[in-house]
């Protein structure tokens, strides 16, 4: 019964999954960049502006998008016939998604550091960490498209 519903809803589930991933990735790319600007701007009056932007991005866009990505992604995983568990790709994709989720939470912790005035990272370090979602995105997309 549930499997029949998942098959019937497959095009919608896939569409909503893709939209959620796009929104999540946009936030994962932008929040570290906001942190770079936040670190490198020394004017005290601009700090609170960055904090508001960071909180709104994380809570209003990134968190809901991550949750939607996971919900629709798991629906796709449980849709019969979509995943070949004898192949390598589901496991590399899963590793990429778990790493992406870890990065999301790491960014959330860094935002809390800023809010407490305890940030210890430099703009350069945030720039370097900003490359991680690109690498993970490549791993995930290649896993799903090439299906090795």
Domain locations along the chain = 2-146
Whole-model pTM? Answer: 0.91
Percentage with pLDDT > 90 across the chain: 85
Higher-confidence position of 44 and 124: 124
The Cα 68–Cα 22 span in angstroms is 11
- Per the structure block, which two tokens stand in for 93? 């994709």
Q: Which tens digit of pLDDT belongs to each residue from 48-101?
A: 888 999 999 999 999 999 999 999 999 999 999 999 999 999 999 999 999 999
CA 119 to chain centre: 22
DSSP 1: -
The Cα 71–Cα 101 span in angstroms is 13
The Cα 23–Cα 21 span in angstroms is 5
The phi, psi pair for 60, rounded to 5°, reads: -90, -25
pLDDT of residue 47: 79
Burial of 60 (0-12, 13-18, 19+ CB in 10 A): exposed
Sign for the pseudo-dihedral over CA of 121, 44, 37, 57: positive
The Cα 77–Cα 75 span in angstroms is 5
């Amino acid at each position: 019964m549930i499997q029949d519903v998942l098959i019937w809803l497959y095009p919608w589930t896939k569409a909503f999954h893709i939209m959620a991933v796009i929104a999540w990735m946009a936030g994962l790319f932008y929040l570290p960049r906001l942190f770079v600007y936040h670190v490198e701007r020394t004017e005290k009056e601009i700090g609170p502006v960055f904090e508001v932007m960071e909180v709104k991005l994380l809570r209003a866009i990134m968190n809901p998008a991550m949750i939607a990505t996971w919900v629709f992604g798991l629906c796709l995983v449980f849709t019969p016939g979509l995943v070949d568990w004898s192949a390598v790709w589901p496991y590399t994709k899963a590793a990429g998604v778990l790493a992406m989720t870890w990065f999301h939470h790491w960014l959330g912790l860094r935002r809390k550091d800023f809010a407490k005035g305890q940030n210890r990272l430099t703009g350069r370090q945030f720039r370097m960490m900003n490359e991680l979602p690109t690498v993970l995105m490549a791993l995930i997309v290649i896993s799903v498209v090439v299906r090795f």
